[in-house]
Structure 1
Amino acid sequence: MMVVRATFFSLLLAGLTGVSCGAYADEPASAVAPAGVASDTAASATPPSKWKIAFGPGVTVSPAYPGSSKLKIYPFPALDISYDDRFFSQGPDVLGVNVLRDPNYHIGAALTLDFQSRSESDDPRLRGLGGVHWTPKLKLFGDYTWWAFTGSVAMYQDIGGNRQGKTIVSDLYASLPLDSWLFSVGPGFTWADAEYTRTFFGVSSQQSAASKLPTFDTGSGIRDIHMNFYVSHDFSKHWTSSITVVAGRLQHYAADSPITSRRFELNSLASVNYRY
């Protein structure tokens, strides 16, 4: 059994879009001593470390702001640290804990950074709307893997007072390991509450007067539906690379907002990591 666990990446993608992914593979069967072989070697072998550490350079490409037709490129350090599959620091998840965990599932919480933001300087159409700052969020998550299929759900709640409200991201994907390669693909959706949609897609009467955009009232609902694509390749015992692509389409309030200039969303992340 191989367990695939979001990191999204959600890469840094979790901080930019609420989505990210990563993977760890179990030890190959050849690493297990056959039955009946003397235990001297096994007894003298060093037990595996409870620490898993990987780091390296990365780059992510995402919309300049939610609903934007322009893309921005962000370099970032791809960091992935965990201890005993209990405590971890991965991408935008500054510090997290798997309260309940098993080879097949994880349930826990994390302090994460959401880098979604918007500035009036991003587009002339935004002048008069005011800015939206990135914010820290509380993340509650759970995932379950059965055979090659993994289902996951994560709730993000703004705890920085930057009007980003609450979002829930749910994904279902299938994974296929081939030698040193891993491929994952699957659909998902994002739900957002009224505060989130009002902040990023709503236009109040005051904002309308300042920006000349029509007023637009919002509420809670599905923000987007998307497809996740993930590929990783182990070059050696220590070096690995990965690419994540999330292609989505804005829905309902997000799609119909006068702020939105393109309904199609594309987020991608690529990184090269050195694993200890």
Structure 2
Amino acid sequence: MKITRIYTALTGLCLVTASADLLADDWLFTLQGGAANAPRYSGSSERSTVPMLGFEIESPYGFFLQDKGLGWKQEWDDASFSTYIGTSDERKDRKKGYRGSDRLRGMGSIKSRALVGMEGSYTWGPVTFGATFEHALKKDSNKDTGSAYQTLELSVGTSLYEGDFGSLTGNINALFGDADYVRTWYGVSEQQAANSRFAAHKTHGGLVSQGVNLTWSLPLGENTRLHTLLDVQNLSGHVSDSPIVDRRVQTSIASVLEYSF
């Protein structure tokens, strides 16, 4: 886990303690634990098995605290909207445990930074449309790894099965990034080329990837569920042309046990 995620978890525990006298039936607490097998970085052919620990606290007033950050959510019959602050992803240019890759040595590490986001969904019949916009703040003056950037993810999902063996949902999605996002994660500047094994590579904003995922949820008890996710992402043409991309199609699988109370 990133240090910032640990801090967020500690904040959550403090919130639980401070609110003990205010708990009501419509407060919801969720704990999650599991593992995921995924590429070491976007575009990598190396894989790593990563532990997954998460939590979520939802108040009756719309506020929530979870591993992605602190936010507020409003729900209507067919729509929902949320906004949150949290921390962005990171990428190390060396292999350390289940993170990073020695293949990126010399590229410089992309450090986590403050992030603000908005998320909305609308359900029309059996189909749910979703959109997530995130803005990661500037980390430092290093243009290669520290710039602010923005992303937009669009998705369409539906239920494929619901019965004795739980439920299966499917989702197709597309991720777009501005020029700073694509340069940060897939570009190779002249300075990075001089320090690494890669040739210089210029980038531009636009479609980053498109993919599909399947989520199977199996109830194990009144408050316990097992979620298994299979995710497949195809990096778009101009992104997959980056010399750091070894594999255009990226697959991940995760299994998480969830307990709510």
Q: Mapping of 1:107-256 within 5 angstroms?
A: 107-121=81-95, 122-159=100-137, 161=139, 162-163=146-147, 165-175=149-159, 176-179=161-164, 181-256=166-241
**Aligned positions, number:** 229
Task: Please give the alpha-carbon distance, in whole angstroms, between the structure 2 residues aligned to 1:232 and 1:142.
Answer: 22
Task: Please give the alpha-carbon distance, in whole angstroms, between the structure 2 residues aligned to 1:273 and 1:127.
Answer: 37
Q: Mapping of 1:13-24 within 5 angstroms?
A: none
State the partner residue of 2:32: 56
State the partner residue of 2:70: 95
Deviation at 1:205, TM superposition (A): 1.2
Deviation at 1:241, TM superposition (A): 0.9
Deviation at 1:65, TM superposition (A): 1.4
Deviation at 1:143, TM superposition (A): 0.5
Q: 1:243 to 1:226 in 2, by over 3 A?
A: same
* Structure 2 runs not aligned, ≥5 long: 6-23, 140-145
DSSP-derived class of the 1:110 partner: strand
TM-score after normalising by structure 1: 0.76
| Deviation digits for residues 187-211 of structure 1 (CA, Å, limit 9, x no counterpart) | 1100011111111111111211222
Task: Please give the alpha-carbon distance, in whole angstroms, between the structure 1 residues aligned to 2:26 and 2:246.
Answer: 47
Deviation at 1:179, TM superposition (A): 4.3
Deviation at 1:239, TM superposition (A): 1.5
DSSP-derived class of the 1:241 partner: strand
Identity within the alignment, %? 22
Range moving further from structure 2, 179-188 or 243-252:
179-188
Contact 2:93 2:106 in 1 (8 A): no
> Which segments of structure 1 move beyond 6 Å, counting only runs of 4 or more?
none
TM-score after normalising by structure 2: 0.80
DSSP-derived class of the 1:233 partner: strand
DSSP-derived class of the 2:129 partner: strand
* 1:95 partner letter: L
Contact 1:78 1:271 in 2 (8 A): no
State the partner residue of 2:14: none
Deviation at 1:64, TM superposition (A): 1.0
* Structure 1 runs not aligned, ≥5 long: 1-11, 16-47
2:44 to 36, 54, 68: 68
DSSP-derived class of the 1:81 partner: strand
DSSP-derived class of the 2:239 partner: helix
| Deviation digits for residues 209-233 of structure 1 (CA, Å, limit 9, x no counterpart) | 2224211101101100010211111
Structure 1 or 2, whichever has the larger Rg, is 1
Tell me the C-alpha RMSD between the 2 structures.
Answer: 2.2
Task: Please give the alpha-carbon distance, in whole angstroms, between the structure 2 residues aligned to 1:212 and 1:77.
Answer: 35
Contact 1:66 1:116 in 2 (8 A): no
DSSP-derived class of the 1:163 partner: coil
